[in-house]
A and B are shown apart, each in its own frame.
Chain A
Amino acid sequence: AQSVTQLDSQVPVFEEAPVELRCNYSSSVSVYLFWYVQYPNQGLQLLLKYLSGSTLVESINGFEAEFNKSQTSFHLRKPSVHISDTAEYFCAVITSGNTPLVFGKGTRLSVIA
């Protein structure tokens, strides 16, 4: 069965600094990968996803993630964070077959002014 590891439970970073949130997955078959964001007291929203094609995917608010099959990673990056990026970020993976979407434990990004 697939699994997702988010190594950092909390990442504090100063405003306008770059950030990387790490995500590794384990699966022996093809995967679809997602990053979701959860702002305080809200549901999750899709940030970006990799289904196929270009391994670099981008979101509309400046985040990007690169699918690296050899390292089984899908790290999330942003070159310059804003206060409004403070949220919980979840990496998720789904494979073919009938298995459900599996979420990592989340990384709390705190942007400091």
Chain B
Amino acid sequence: DTAVSQTPKYLVTQMGNDKSIKCEQNLGHDTMYWYKQDSKKFLKIMFSYNNKELIINETVPNRFSPKSPDKAHLNLHINSLELGDSAVYFCASSQHRSDTQYFGPGTRLTVL
């Protein structure tokens, strides 16, 4: 049983389009995260939700909007995609913020 799952695994799209990435965790964790990993493997947090409430919102363009319908899901919607949005996006979850984070397999987004 996959602990943290993301769909889709690959996403190729044109500049200007709107796309969504879905994330689900079956670990019963209270906290979920979105990270962006660039081509140099640098990993940076974008958002963190605790029990469906936004608790961390790093300096991310407002074209990125997370949505948490329940504490097991945290989706990421991106409007007006730009070339610089190309990256691998990881979802993760943990019980508390200082606990081990469990990562999904990643979504490789390519903007053409």
Contact = CB atoms under 8 A, between A and B. Distances in A.
Interface of A: 32, 34, 36, 38, 41-46, 49, 51, 88, 90, 94, 98, 100-101, 103, 105-106, 108
Contacts, number: 51
Contact of A90 (B43, B45, B48, B56): B43
B98 A94 contact: yes
Interface centre among A41, A46, A51, A100 (most CB of B within 10 A): A100
Interface of B: 4, 33, 40-45, 48, 55-56, 58, 90, 92, 97-98, 100-106
B100 A46 contact: yes
Contact of B90 (A32, A43, A100, A101): A43
Classify the secondary structure of A's interface with B: strand
Given A43-B103, A105-B42, A106-B43, A98 B56 contact: yes
A3 to B, nearest CB: 13
